[in-house]
Structure 1
Amino acid sequence: MENREKFSSRLGFILISAGCAIGLGNVWRFPYITGKYGGAAFVLIYLVFLIILGMPIMAMEFAVGRASRKSAARSFHVLEPKGTKWHIEGYIAMAGNYLLMMFYTTVGGWMISYIFKMASGSFTGLTPDEVGGVFSGMLASPGSMTFWMIVAVLLAFGICSMGLQNGVERITKVMMSFLLVILVVLCIRSVTLPGAGAGLEFYLIPDFGKIVENGVGNVIFAAMGQAFFTLSLGIGAMAIFGSYISRDRTLMGESVNICILDTVVALMAGLVIFPACFAFGVDPGEGPGLVFVTLPNIFNQMAGGRLWGTLFFVFMSFAALSTIIAVFENIISFAIDLWGWTRKKSVAVNLILILVLSIPCVLGFNVWSGIAPLGAGSTIQDLEDFLVSNNLLPLGSLIYLLFCTSRYGWGWDNFIAEADAGKGIRFPKWARFYVSYILPLIVLFIFVMGYWQKFAA
């Protein structure tokens, strides 16, 4: 057994894995989709899918990581039966991690820049249109976007360069603790605003009429998609942390803990956003606009808004950075596992690589805005996101599923022995048929529907 770094504590492992799962999808996509598809009723369906879709695949990814003690670059080589080609997933996973960082670093940069914009009072006294103008002004400026993207990349690689325990684990623990504290403070502020009751009602009382209105199929697919994408499964982003943990806890139990943390943050983000939107009569609009335009407008109208706004963007930056650090840790370990590089060398080479790879996304909003890879109005970022979310995540998850259940892969018996090692919740034996035959079909359905919605609908 080679000398592989390990987490110093179980809490470190849970917080870092949750940090990887808790990204911007929880914070801006979850509240928006929840609002669109009927509030609490949607949340119930989402939770069901999180349990039947997210948890088993997460346990499998952890199992492959822990049994092989390698990152996705080498884990399949170690575990696959001789002469088989499962290790091709290693290349898919590596591509997925790099592609994800090609656009995520830019969005991380936006969040960090907004901490400074909020704190310095850039929005004070602006009309709603002018607040929107600040965001479009930022997108139009390649220089400032590049600067903030570099800040995000340097911060995250700086932390990774300090090592697993001293850097990644120690700093992520602090960041995640602050993230949860800030979130609680923001929730309390939001739900005590005058007029917040209507937002709470909308968010917490199920309205099954809305589900019918939006079409049951659409709502189920949206819930399924959100449950699937929120955990970033399929590109080995979780497997790496499996490779750093000891065998004294079962993997299903750890997956449950991480899913609970991930969900609590998503639900609390909704408790910040909906009451505030309803209190100030604002529609909880879509995507980036919600975070960068709608919320700064709300903070403008709120007493002490500059403080609350600054705290909100510190929270958002921590959510983004926890994911970037986790994926960078994976990327760094690829070179360490493949070519035996030192951590320092891997950080240095990947730092330059990621900075170069992140430039197309930045330029796609301004200098190269004429490039519309997915049809009119789309950007380079949309293409990168589509490749990761609609292709590499579902296909990668499918490979992990088949690898752990098929006798042509690592196989069910090996998987169960690894997943159930230690104390805690066991992987349910009765679920074997479901994860072998039904779950792969669900993942395939998500993959096909992603294309259908993009190009046919």
Structure 2
Amino acid sequence: MSYAPPRALWASRLGFILAAAGSAVGLGNIWKFPYITGQNGGGAFVLVYLVCIAVVGLPIMMAELMIGRHTRKDAVGAFIHLEGKRSFWQAPGWISVAAAFIICSYYSVVAGWTLDYLYRALLGSFSGQSAENIEGLFGGLTADGPRQLLWHFLFMSLCLGIVIGGVQKGIERWSKILMPILLALLALLFMNGLLSPGAWEGITFLFRPDFTKLTPAAVLEAMGHAFFTLSLGMAAMITYGSYLSKQEDLLGASLRVVVLDTVIALMAGIAIFSVVFSVGMEPAAGPGLVFKTIPVVFSQLPGGFVLAILFFLLLAFAALTSNISLLEASVAYLIDERGWSRPRATWFLAGLAFVVGIPTALSYNTLAEWKVIGDRVFFDSVDMLVSNYFLPFSGLFISIYVGWFWSGTEEKQELIAGGAGWVYPTWHFLIRYVSPLAVAVVLFFKMKETGLFAWFAALLQ
């Protein structure tokens, strides 16, 4: 017997903004954005990134929220509602829900690393250690499968505890607690960065464009990150949009989320680069910036013990607010399409995500010899598939559908309902021409970069 509760709605505009911003603000803002900025030359990369946020990210975010609010359904159910059960247009719904679940499973493992480092920071493990010893801690963590599984289990349990409470009493209530704390922690680290000797050098690096360092690969990286940082293509915004009031201004709501997400990324960049420059280290440290370089930096700074605790607490909160949206996107599918109760759906999917995440936790130790795609271990393989194919394909299909196939009257009515009908011509042009073209270009080059074309060619020979 199916269970069909009435559709939950956000209790307040602030609740939605904090929940949606929490979904967008994750490790991508505080971990990935600073290191890819460092690798791609700083200011010119940031400028391209901001342009891409405006012309690619914002229109697609509005489209996803619009689909969710119009249908009052999960990502799969939304397209069934719009086009029927036999329609091809179910594809972006299925791809995005699958992406959300897979990311949820391995994101929890990575988030577990932040909990481990928070624990180390509380114990003062970075103080009085050599740079070599601190940098070696990360290798020790990834080589320890059982330890990663413990943190993975604890983090997924936190997500379960929040999502099982529902939209208002779970996600919204905790977003109103976690996001202000996250912003306060970031503000403290940001002020510390501004007061450090490397502040001006860090700000200059981030905001003074040097177009001689801007390569075509950097432009593609900026475009891709602008899309992924907003939680687009992974069912989260469609699901969160389905809980949104019909009177809410979609443009205003989307702008608030985008601006908050972008400001947090830039503040994190300033906070990190200022202290990195203060001790004379290189900003282009790559993925190891957070788990190798930053602990070394804190070990050399006055008050570094406290700064390390604040920083890894910030990372843990950012990861948590993101992962609850990924779990909710999958839970909403079982509730809407399969008639499951929220407790049953949440327990089942959280448990399944933990199990699916086990090979990720063992990828650099017990299962290190298991190469899934090419020479990639399990974690790298699933991350490559989801980041480079699932999310771009989902975003491409959604922008094409909304731009070319969905009724323009319905779209315009959704914007008019919140008082933003005036933006329809500009938004429709961007979602019809600019956004799909940009995502298609990123997708093409990612397929080329990851060797998919070569794989197809070999298969056809």
TM-score by length of 1: 0.94
| CA distance in 1: counterparts of 2:331 and 2:102, whole angstroms | 15
* Residue of structure 2 aligned with 1:398, choices 396, 399, 407: 396
Q: How does 1:277-426 map to 2 (within 5 A)?
A: 277-376=276-375, 378-407=376-405, 410-424=406-420, 426=422
| CA distance in 2: counterparts of 1:240 and 1:427, whole angstroms | 23
| CA distance in 1: counterparts of 2:29 and 2:285, whole angstroms | 13
Partner SS state of residue 428, structure 1: helix
Cα displacement (A) at 1:441: 2.2
| CA distance in 2: counterparts of 1:420 and 1:152, whole angstroms | 41
User: What residue is the counterpart of 1:428 in the other structure?
Assistant: 424
Q: 1:423 to 1:199 in 2, by over 3 A?
A: same
Q: How does 1:229-244 map to 2 (within 5 A)?
A: 229-244=228-243
**Equivalent position amino acid for 2:111 in 1:** G
User: What residue is the counterpart of 2:124 in the other structure?
Assistant: 121
Size of the aligned set, in residue pairs, is 450
| CA distance in 2: counterparts of 1:372 and 1:279, whole angstroms | 40
User: What residue is the counterpart of 1:90 in the other structure?
Assistant: 93
| CA distance in 2: counterparts of 1:155 and 1:277, whole angstroms | 32
Q: 1:22 to 1:430 in 2, by over 3 A?
A: closer
**Equivalent position amino acid for 2:369 in 1:** G
Cα displacement (A) at 1:191: 2.0
1:219-242 deviation line (CA, Å, top 9, x unaligned) = 321221111111121121111110
Q: How does 1:23-422 map to 2 (within 5 A)?
A: 23-80=26-83, 84-211=87-214, 215=215, 217-376=216-375, 378-407=376-405, 410-422=406-418
Instruction: Answer whether contact 2:43 2:208 (CA < 8 A) is retained.
Output: yes
1:16-38 deviation line (CA, Å, top 9, x unaligned) = 11111111111121112222222
Let me know the Cα RMSD of the aligned residues: 1.8
Instruction: Answer whether contact 2:69 2:242 (CA < 8 A) is retained.
Output: yes
**Equivalent position amino acid for 2:177 in 1:** V
Q: 1:354 to 1:263 in 2, by over 3 A?
A: same
Partner SS state of residue 368, structure 1: coil
Cα displacement (A) at 1:85: 2.6
| CA distance in 1: counterparts of 2:423 and 2:328, whole angstroms | 27
**Equivalent position amino acid for 1:279 in 2:** S
Partner SS state of residue 3, structure 1: coil
Instruction: Answer whether contact 2:38 2:285 (CA < 8 A) is retained.
Output: no
Q: 1:195 to 1:344 in 2, by over 3 A?
A: closer
Instruction: Answer whether contact 1:32 1:286 (CA < 8 A) is retained.
Output: yes
Instruction: Answer whether contact 2:60 2:435 (CA < 8 A) is retained.
Output: no
1:388-438 deviation line (CA, Å, top 9, x unaligned) = 11111111111211221224xx32222222233213474331443442234
Cα displacement (A) at 1:371: 2.1
**Equivalent position amino acid for 1:366 in 2:** N
| CA distance in 2: counterparts of 1:99 and 1:386, whole angstroms | 12
Tell which deviates more after alignment, 51-60 or 79-88: 79-88
5+ residue gaps in structure 1?
Answer: none
Q: 1:65 to 1:431 in 2, by over 3 A?
A: closer
| CA distance in 2: counterparts of 1:6 and 1:155, whole angstroms | 22
Partner SS state of residue 134, structure 1: helix
5+ residue gaps in structure 2?
Answer: 455-461
Q: Percent identity?
A: 38
| CA distance in 1: counterparts of 2:295 and 2:5, whole angstroms | 51
User: What residue is the counterpart of 2:457 in the other structure?
Assistant: none
| CA distance in 2: counterparts of 1:209 and 1:219, whole angstroms | 11
**Equivalent position amino acid for 1:176 in 2:** M
Q: 1:164 to 1:430 in 2, by over 3 A?
A: closer
Instruction: Answer whether contact 1:71 1:239 (CA < 8 A) is retained.
Output: yes
Cα displacement (A) at 1:97: 1.1
Q: 1:136 to 1:64 in 2, by over 3 A?
A: same
**Equivalent position amino acid for 1:451 in 2:** M
* Residue of structure 1 aligned with 2:433, choices 425, 430, 437: 437
**Equivalent position amino acid for 2:410 in 1:** N
| CA distance in 2: counterparts of 1:130 and 1:154, whole angstroms | 31
1:105-125 deviation line (CA, Å, top 9, x unaligned) = 001111111111101112221
| CA distance in 2: counterparts of 1:437 and 1:198, whole angstroms | 39
Instruction: Answer whether contact 2:223 2:438 (CA < 8 A) is retained.
Output: no
Partner SS state of residue 420, structure 1: helix
**Equivalent position amino acid for 1:446 in 2:** V
